[in-house]
Chains A and B, each alone.
Chain A
Amino acid sequence: MFRRRPEARPATQDRLVEVFVAGRPIRVPEGASAAAAVLLSGAPAIRTTPVGGAPRLPYCMIGICFDCLAEIDGVANRQSCLVPVAPGMRIEPQIGARVARADDTAPEAA
């Protein structure tokens, strides 16, 4: 588990963003990634593998390993280490493979 250091940023720059990790609110520094939010939340896993159902947490944090896959704002299998947090973002663990749903719609373009 990781912890934030309030002293890392001068007070004027220490802007926090509230996001939801598996439904629970957590405030993380602006500029942090969704993967960082998951690690700071203490969640036991960010995904389970499609093959063996094993729990995983982010491994590389630079977009290489794909172990940080999560469902972010309803879009499955996103590399959460490459997604900066935004206010109100909802980060859910990616449980196994993505399931096609009848109500799937294209995500709104940002």
Chain B
Amino acid sequence: MIYDLAIVGAGPAGMAAGIEAAALGLSVTVLDEQPAPGGQVFRAVEAASGDAALAGEFRDAGGALAAAFRAVRGIAYRPQTTLWHLDPEAGLLSVVSGGATAEIQARRILLATGAQERPVPIAGWTLPGVMSAGAAQILLKTAGAVPDGSVVIAGQGPLCWLLAVQLLRAGVERLTLLETGSGGAFRDALRAGGLWTGRKLLAKGLALMRETRARGLRVVRNVRDLRAEGDGRIRTVRWRQGSRDHALACDTLLLHEGVIPSTHITRALGLDHDWDARQLCWRPRLDRWGATSHANVAVAGDGGGIGGWEAAAAGGRLAAIDAAHRLGRFDAAVRETRAADASKARHAALALRPFLDRLYRPGPGVLAPADDTIVCRCEEITAGQVRDAARLGAAGPNQVKAYLRAGMGPCQGRMCGTVVAGLIAETRGTSMESVGALRPRAPFKPMTVGELANQRPDAIPELTA
């Protein structure tokens, strides 16, 4: 069969889009890499609903959205299904699941593939025991697990505070937050406005900070020059504050400098992207319905620009309404009427974003690590090697890939691509736009020849009839 709408990703945007599309009478399928709906923000929300450490928005709002998604009849939901190729012209989605491959056809495609944490290339970040803050949160959500010993969260952004609260509630006793960023950011952020419209989100953030204080979190501010040290695994984290050097014994270091759109698939499709100079990331160029530069493809959620789960859910609904309009279900005037609620919800959800973007503006260091720091974790290429290649004449990340193999390893540049481009721009004194981005190609995820040969449409799980 040919679906009206194929949605890739079952996070807030994908779930909300699926619910809306089904309500509008579209035939819809939702593919997701994970075994259960929720995306990363509401990962494993159904299984983790009893965990007191995750009480609050995760359990309440996330649980409600996942339940609403499960309750809709008529969505062909395919968990543990990975998209490895997409032909937007033909509306053909090639997927792999459980050792078999299949093709799914759809008139319109919505990419709700979300965000990733910004890679934080510091000295020692490849050592065992160093991971992203989000990774620790995933372990809490999916396994109820917490790190042992001396735990350090280092970086900036709302997730640092949320994770600190959750780890403290979960019984982590030796927890330190090293907050990067500069004191001047707060005054700059206040000028962005949006505080009244975004007061609900603001109140939530302040409540998290209050709870960390009540639970005795040690917070160190204005941290810079972070380093992880150890032989075979992390033992010590070092940093500078003012003019002084500091060190702390550390068993687990959790890095976080905000989240950025995952652009692997949108780049592979050759869609138009814009450089976000404030958040130092690329984002696909979208209209207010989430439509991309390709007539058959839309993007909703944090994959189109970071807005948080409420904006993502509203964006998913808008993209579903636009899909119904484009498929001839109703005209543009009806589209406007139907979109009123979701538009208002997204506006409210995004109100605080300019404030947050300024408050937690990533330091330029995230795109300009020291020469001896590894930037390409797969091929173990340092920032110094990339700068040398740029001086030799490599004008973009695709050339550096040919020179050094940076971006050629299994992650295909998901971790290093933007940092490599930033190093080239810095070395050659040019803009990120002129340096450009890696052009990923299918398969979007590695697969075996056996999987490719095993074409079995019946083997792809489908939960809802």
- Given A5-B171, A56-B128, A109-B99, also A64-B415 (CB < 8 A): yes
A101 part of interface (Cβ distance < 8 Å):
no
Known interface pairs A2-B147, A66-B378, A77-B410; A8-B53 also in contact (CB < 8 Å): yes
- On chain A, the number of residues with a Cβ less than 8 Å from chain B's Cβ atoms is 51
Binds A, one of B40-48, B316-324, B365-373, B384-392: B40-48
Shortest Cβ gap from A66 to chain B (Å): 4
Q: List 18 A-B contacts (CB under 8 A).
A: A1-B148, A2-B146, A3-B146, A5-B145, A5-B170, A7-B144, A8-B51, A31-B36, A31-B44, A31-B47, A52-B380, A55-B232, A57-B233, A59-B377, A63-B33, A66-B411, A69-B410, A106-B448
CB distance from B258 to the nearest CB of A (A): 14
B47 to chain A: which residues have CB within 8 Å? 9, 13, 30-31
Interface size on B, residues (CB 8 A): 63
Which one of B82, B116, B140 contacts A62 once the chains associate, using CB atoms below 8 Å? B116
Contact in complex: B139, A61 (CB < 8 Å) = yes
Chain B residues lying within 8 Å of A64, measured Cβ to Cβ, are: 116-117, 262, 411, 414-415
A60 in the interface (beta carbon within 8 A): yes
What residues on A are CB-neighbors of B410 within 8 Å? 66, 69, 77
B 24-54 contacts with A by CB, 8 A:
33-36, 40, 44, 47-48, 50-53
Residues on B close to A: CB < 8 A?
33-36, 40, 44, 47-48, 50-53, 80, 82, 98-100, 116-117, 126, 128-132, 134-135, 138-140, 142-149, 170-171, 232-233, 251-252, 262, 377-380, 409-411, 414-415, 445-446, 448-450, 453-454, 456, 459
> Interface readout for A18-48 with B: 1 if CB under 8 Å, 0 if not?
0000000000111111001001100011000
Q: Report how far A45 CA is from B233 CA in the complex, Å.
A: 9
**Contact of A28 with B377 in the complex, beta carbons under 8 Å:** no
CB A49 to nearest CB in B, in angstroms, measures 6
Interfacial chain B residues near A67, Cβ < 8 Å: 126, 377
* A89 proximity list for chain B (CB < 8 A): none
Complexed CA–CA distance, A109 and B380 (Å): 34
Alpha-carbon distance between A67 and B409 when the two chains are bound, in angstroms: 11
Residues of A that sit less than 8 Å from B by CB? 1-10, 13, 28-33, 36, 39-40, 44-45, 49, 51-52, 54-67, 69, 75, 77, 79, 81-82, 84, 106-110
* A-B CB contacts (within 8 Å), total count: 160
Nearest CB of chain B from residue A47's CB, rounded to whole Å: 10
Identify B380's interface contact among A2, A32, A45, A51, CB under 8 A: A51
Contact B116 A61 (CB under 8 A): no
Specify which chain A residues have a CB less than 8 angstroms from the CB of B143 in the assembled complex: 2, 4, 8, 28-29, 31-33, 36, 40
List, in ascending order, chain A residues with CB within 8 A of B51's CB: 8-9
Q: How far is the CB of A84 from chain B (nearest CB, A)?
A: 5
Task: List chain A residues, Cβ under 8 A from B459.
Answer: 109-110
- Expressed in whole angstroms, the Cα–Cα distance for A9 and B131 within the complex equals 24
Not counting A29-B143, A54-B380, A66-B409, a sample of 10 additional A-B residue pairs whose C-beta atoms are within 8 angstroms of each other reads A2-B146, A3-B148, A4-B145, A7-B144, A8-B50, A33-B142, A36-B143, A54-B126, A57-B129, A64-B116
Q: How far is the CB of B125 from chain A (nearest CB, A)?
A: 8
**Contacting residues, chain A, for B44 (C-beta < 8 A):** 31
Determine the residue in chain B with the shortest Cβ distance to A28. B143
Q: Which residues of B are found within 8 Å of A30, using beta-carbon distances?
A: 47
Contact B148 A2 (CB under 8 A): yes
Set of chain A residues within 8 Å of B53, measured between Cβ atoms: 5, 8
Are the CB atoms of A65 and B415 closer together than 8 Å?
A: yes
A2 touches B116 (CB 8 A): no
CA distance A5 to B449 in the complex (A): 40
Query: Would you give the shortest CB distance from A59 to chain B, in whole angstroms?
Result: 5
Q: Would A39 and B139 be within 8 Å (CB), given that A31-B44, A59-B130, A64-B262 are in contact?
A: yes
